[in-house]
Structure 1
Amino acid sequence: MFRVTVRDHIMIAHSFRGEVFGPAQQLHGATFVVDATFHRPDLDADNIVVDIGLATEHLNAALADLNYRNLDDVEEFAGTNTSTEFLAKVIADRLAAAVAAGSLGPGASGLSAVEVTLHESHVASASYQRDL
């Protein structure tokens, strides 16, 4: 399996509901380093996994409306704990939609999966991988 990863970051604020979250039940900020990894079993006709420039642009676009936002105020997430795992899925789904729409170029039709990892710090991260 071949993989290409592109990286960006977002800065958000949010709070959680539930005792399991302890002090994170209060409004707090987070800066996530976001990796999007594109998988495919074989290289395309140009011997690449995906156009890195387009992948980078679409990762940035998938993050744009989250960056510098209080996610508690985003209607789409009303009543939802916007955990790191949850956000990884949201971003992966957005990238999968871009692949399905052909926005990552014709070679992207051979992609088999996309995986998004949000790094909370140098010691903790969460990922979500979905088939395409």
Structure 2
Amino acid sequence: MFQLTVRDHVMVAHSFRGEVFGPAQRLHGATFVVEATFRRAELDADNIVVDIGLATRELGQVLGELNYRNLDEEPAFAGVNTSTEFLAKVVADELAERVHAGALGAGARGLAGIAVTLRESPVAWASYERAL
């Protein structure tokens, strides 16, 4: 399986509900390094997994919709604990929609899957992987 990963970052504010979250129940900021890994069994006709420039652009646009936002105030996340794991799925699903819409070029049609990793710190991260 071939892979190509692009990376960006996002800064958000949010809070959590539930005793399991301890002090994170209060409003706090989080900065995540976000990696999107695109996978395919065989390289395309140009010998690439996906256009790296388009993948970088689309990841940046997806994150731009979240960047510098208080997620507690966003209608799409009302009543949701926007955990690192949950946000990894949000980003992966939005990128998948863009793949299917052709935003990553015609060569992206052969992609098998995508994985998104949000790194909270050097010692903690979460990922979500989905088929395309």
CA distance, structure 2, for counterparts of residue 127 and residue 32 of structure 1? 12
Superposed displacement of residue 125, structure 1: 0.3
Q: Over the residues paired in the alignment, what is the CA RMSD in angstroms?
A: 0.4
TM-score (normalised: structure 2): 0.99
What do residues 65-104 of structure 1 show as CA deviations (whole Å, max 9, x unaligned)? 1000110000000000000000000000000000001110
Percent identity among equivalent residues? 71
- Structure 2 partner of 1:117: 117
The residue correspondences of 1:1-132 to structure 2 (distance < 5 A) are 1-132=1-132
Structure 2 unaligned spans of 5+: none
Amino acid paired to 2:114: V
Letter paired with 1:56: T
Q: Distance in 2 between matches of 1:66 and 1:97?
A: 16
Structure 1 runs (4+) deviating above 6 angstroms are none
What secondary structure sits across from 2:37 in the alignment? Answer: strand
SS class of match (1:29): strand
Secondary structure of the structure 1 residue equivalent to 2:121: coil
Give the length in aligned residue pairs: 132
